[in-house]
Amino acid sequence: MLGAIEAGGTKFVCAIGDETGEIVERIQIRTTVPSETIPQVIAFFKKYSIKAIGIGSFGPIDVDLDSPTYGHITSTPKPGWKDYPFVQAIKEALDVPVGFNTDVNAAALGEATFGAAKGLDSCLYITVGTGIGAGAVVQGKLLQGLSHPEMGHILVRRHPEDQYNGKCPFHQDCLEGLAAGPAIEERWGAKGIDLVQREEVWDVEGYYIAQALMHYILILSPKKIILGGGVMNQTQVFSSIYKYLRDFLNGYVNLPQLSEYIVRPGLEDNAGIIGSLLLAKEAGQFS
């Protein structure tokens, strides 16, 4: 059996499962501060005999194995979690190998192995929710270099009718600052779920997401793009994304049918936790 942690800004999902992605048991724990959340996580896993644990975490995180701060959450604005030694805390408590990556990289791995990109050697998974992040599989491997990708913080052109200042605490009007859930709520005065009939909301949202996808397509050329997260549950935004992406690319790149190329997660809300099981499998193999 393997353990998996999908560590998000609002909740931790913890699961027991196997390398086929089968989940035996799962729980949710509210993300508060480490001294409250982590003991509950550890108590859950101590009930089982597991070979390894995979963690897909909100970031930024240090994924450089040669770094003295490997396994830490780094410059997050989440209160209490900045510089937290996540991997070290789990290893010390449970004494098993730990695989560690971003929550979106874990989701990309899950979708590439069992989901919407199964059978392909590249894909891009993007979550649009409380924040915006992306993970990528390139030639069958998770993309990582100096650090993990931080695609939610690219700069985008302003929608001509958008006067909103932006909400990112680091960059103000980057993609996340303009298009994540909290930006939608602050700009329009209501959550996305309560704005379903407001076409102008989804026109602006599609405008920003399509710009981001254009950048990612031109740089990474993924064979499938998967859009997850709470905001993307408002599926009316997809038509706006497709429209603007066609306009922006202007025929420069030949793409498949957009409704088949840019899709919802095949694993639905399980992409991240199943991907974390796969991180655990890899950690157990190389321990």
Tell me: the pLDDT tens digits for 74-117? 988 888 999 999 999 999 999 999 999 999 999 999 999 999 99
Tell whether 110 is covered by a domain.
no
- The total domain count for the chain is 2
In the structure, what pLDDT confidence band is assigned to residue 284 with cuts at 50, 70 and 90?
Answer: confident
Tell whether 113 is covered by a domain.
no
**How high is the pLDDT of residue 286?**
62
Q: Which residues pair with 100 in a beta bridge?
A: 55
Tell whether 114 is covered by a domain.
no
Report the CATH number that the domain containing residue 235 is assigned in CATH: 3.30.420.40
Is pLDDT of 145 > 80? no
Domain containing 41 equals 2-105+269-285
Question: Span 40-68, mean pLDDT?
Answer: 95
Torsion 172-178-180-182 (CA) sign: positive
- Report how far apart, in Å, the C-alpha atoms of 15 and of each of 25, 97, 265 are: 6, 16, 19
Q: 73 and 20, same structural domain?
A: yes
C-alpha 103/C-alpha 228 separation (Å) is 12
C-alpha 179/C-alpha 175 separation (Å) is 6
Question: Span 193-220, mean pLDDT?
Answer: 97
Tell whether 169 is covered by a domain.
yes
Give the CA dihedral 247, 248, 250, 253, nearest 10 degrees.
-130
Is pLDDT of 231 > 70? yes
Q: 243 and 134, same structural domain?
A: yes
**How high is the pLDDT of residue 59?**
85
Q: 279 and 257, same structural domain?
A: no
Tell whether 278 is covered by a domain.
yes
Q: What is the mean pLDDT of the chain?
A: 95
Tell whether 65 is covered by a domain.
yes
Q: 161 and 144, same structural domain?
A: yes
**How high is the pLDDT of residue 143?**
87
